[in-house]
Structure 1
Amino acid sequence: MTREIPVIYVISDALGETAEFVSRASAAQFSGVRTRIRMVPHVRDEAHIDEILDEAVQDNAILAYTLVLNNLRHYLEVKATEKGLRTVDILGPLMKLLSEETGLEPSNIPNITHRLDETYFRKVEAIEFAVKYDDGKDPRGVLFADVVLIGVSRTSKTPLSMYLAHKGIKAANIPLVPEVAPPQELFEVSPRKVVGLTLRPDHLNEIRTARLRTLGLGASADYASLERIMEELEYARGIMRKVGCPILDATGKAVEETAALILEILYKGERNV
């Protein structure tokens, strides 16, 4: 039987992503409960809070909020108590603890994590780079990349490139196929910024077989055969040895784990230059 819990009002002076994530993660712990979440972003004054609370009373809502301005947090708490509404302050307690630990006062700037700063623009640039130079579409990207990922098909080159891009790292990736010679640019860059990716043959077989099924193709296709996979992996290792780059076995690793190893390799390479 599905039960319905009160509406959760996510109130924020920014987009409310943090409070929404916490609200959904919390509600997901209750099997068979249908959650209703109402987003109320960009709350900047007391008048807006009054409007929200009048509506929240009608829904008997729970208020989950991320407000960095002390006066708005205090006002919301007082008015919500007067109306008998329950509240959850997502940011306040941790900000208070950090202030006590550091001896510093928070800046109390709404939406500070989304400000258009140098880090933000670097991330956007890196994402655009990863899309433009994905899957060897333009080998010239190898010359301008922070890291070049090489490997056979389905070794997570694209997901890793996008993950690294969100860290501000410009990643290009090149597929290694026996029938296609790798671009000359791959041998013109420092091997310190090239990383070879590989998987165990049986694991790669499972991934490719599943991929064929999603495409509505038979699992017996040459693409997923162990014989073909062994041939590709052997060819790829030969190219990696020729380049002189480190080789990572990503079998059983999440994208985040493999990315952390790649960043470690890049960091060590920079220190050894």
Structure 2
Amino acid sequence: MTKEMPVIYVISDALGETAEFVSRASAAQFIGVRTRIRMVPYVRDEAHIDDIIEEAIRDQAILAYTLVLSKLRLYLEKKAIEKNLRTVDILGPLLKLLSEETGMEPSNIPNITHRMDEQYFRKVEAIEFAVKYDDGKDPRGALYADVVLIGVSRTSKTPLSMYLAHKGIKAANIPLVPEVAPPSELFEVSSQKVVGLTLRPDHLNTIRTARLKSLGLGASADYASLQRIVEELEYARGIMRKIGCPIIDATGRAVEETAALILEILYKGERNV
């Protein structure tokens, strides 16, 4: 029987991406426990906090928050203590430590990391790049990409490309199909810039079968055939070995986890994970 984790309210004066990532990463450590996360972004005043507290009482929620304004952090903690709610301050302790180390006060500007700066435009450019060079639509993208993801169908190439794009990484992805020769561009770039993605055959079979059903097609189609999948994976591994690129087995890994491994490969030169 699946256990349920208390609702986690992710409270932020911006989008709440940091608190959400920490919450999901923490919850993922409890296998078999269903996690419910509610996002509460752009909290800018005490009245909004009062509303959140009232709703959190009904859910007996855990409050995970990233609030840069100290008055809002203190107010939220005060109200949570009054109502016997548990809280996790994700930014506060580090802000305090950095302030002590530098002798400076934080700027207390909400959403400062999302300002229209160079990093923001790099992310937008990376997203546009991922869309343009998705699924091998234009193999020339491999020549200009920061990373090229290769693998058979349904190995999460597109979701990973988009996730990496939000980190400012220009990712192109190219599908490997036995009946179609890989584009020449794939062999013209550094092998360290190419990452091969693979899955266990049974896991890929489950994913493809579900995909066919969602399209109203029969699960017996060759696309989901275990024999066909094994042949495709062997073909893909042969291409990856020829290129000499790192290979990641993404079986059972969330997109975020696989993306972290890809970034580790790019920055540290790891080979097989």
TM-based fold match above 0.5: yes
Residue matched to 2:252 = 252
Residue matched to 2:31 = none
Residue matched to 1:147 = 147
**Structure 1 residues 260-269 or 219-228, which shifts more?**
260-269
Residue matched to 2:138 = 138
**Structure 1 residues 108-117 or 136-145, which shifts more?**
108-117
- Counterparts of residues 93-104 of structure 1 (less than 5 Å): 95-100=95-100, 102-104=102-104
Structure 2 counterpart of 1:124, one-letter code: V
Residue matched to 1:174 = 174
Residue matched to 1:161 = 161
CA deviation map 1:169-200 (0-9, x unaligned)? 11100001111111111111111111111111
CA distance, structure 1, for counterparts of residue 19 and residue 195 of structure 2: 38
TM superposition shift of 1:85? 11
CA contact (8 A) 2:68 2:109 kept: yes
CA deviation map 1:218-254 (0-9, x unaligned)? 1111100011111111211221122221222212222
Gaps of 5+ in 1: 1-9, 23-36
CA distance, structure 1, for counterparts of residue 54 and residue 183 of structure 2: 63
CA distance, structure 1, for counterparts of residue 268 and residue 41 of structure 2: 45
**Structure 1 residues 117-126 or 133-142, which shifts more?**
117-126
Gaps of 5+ in 2: 1-9, 23-37, 57-62
TM superposition shift of 1:135? 0.4
Q: Is residue 122 of structure 2 the alignment partner of residue 113 of structure 1? A: no
Residue matched to 1:33 = none
CA distance, structure 2, for counterparts of residue 154 and residue 237 of structure 1: 15
**Structure 1 residues 237-246 or 149-158, which shifts more?**
237-246
**Structure 1 residues 258-267 or 185-194, which shifts more?**
258-267
Report the structure number with the largest CA radius of gyration.
1
TM superposition shift of 1:86? 11
Alignment size in residue pairs? 244
Paired residue secondary structure (2:155): coil
CA contact (8 A) 2:154 2:204 kept: yes
Runs of 4+ in 1 over 4 A off after TM superposition: 10-22, 37-43, 59-62, 64-74, 84-94
TM-score, normalised with respect to structure 1: 0.69
Paired residue secondary structure (2:108): coil
Structure 1 counterpart of 2:170, one-letter code: K
- Aligned CA RMSD, in angstroms, stands at 4.2
CA distance, structure 2, for counterparts of residue 105 and residue 221 of structure 1: 62
CA contact (8 A) 1:61 1:85 kept: no
Q: 1:100 to 1:253 in 2, by over 3 A?
A: same
Q: 1:105 to 1:130 in 2, by over 3 A?
A: same
CA deviation map 1:63-102 (0-9, x unaligned)? x99764567889x79xx9xxx9999996656634542355
TM superposition shift of 1:39? 7.1
Paired residue secondary structure (2:189): coil
**Percent identity between the aligned chains?**
79
CA distance, structure 1, for counterparts of residue 127 and residue 211 of structure 2: 25
CA contact (8 A) 1:15 1:42 kept: no
Paired residue secondary structure (2:119): helix
Q: 1:225 to 1:11 in 2, by over 3 A?
A: closer
Paired residue secondary structure (2:195): strand
Structure 2 counterpart of 1:139, one-letter code: P
Residue matched to 1:190 = 190
TM superposition shift of 1:146? 0.6
Residue matched to 1:224 = 224
CA contact (8 A) 1:61 1:86 kept: no
**Structure 1 residues 111-120 or 224-233, which shifts more?**
111-120
TM-score, normalised with respect to structure 2: 0.69
Q: 1:231 to 1:121 in 2, by over 3 A?
A: same
CA distance, structure 1, for counterparts of residue 83 and residue 221 of structure 2: 60
Q: 1:73 to 1:157 in 2, by over 3 A?
A: closer
- Counterparts of residues 124-135 of structure 1 (less than 5 Å): 124-135=124-135
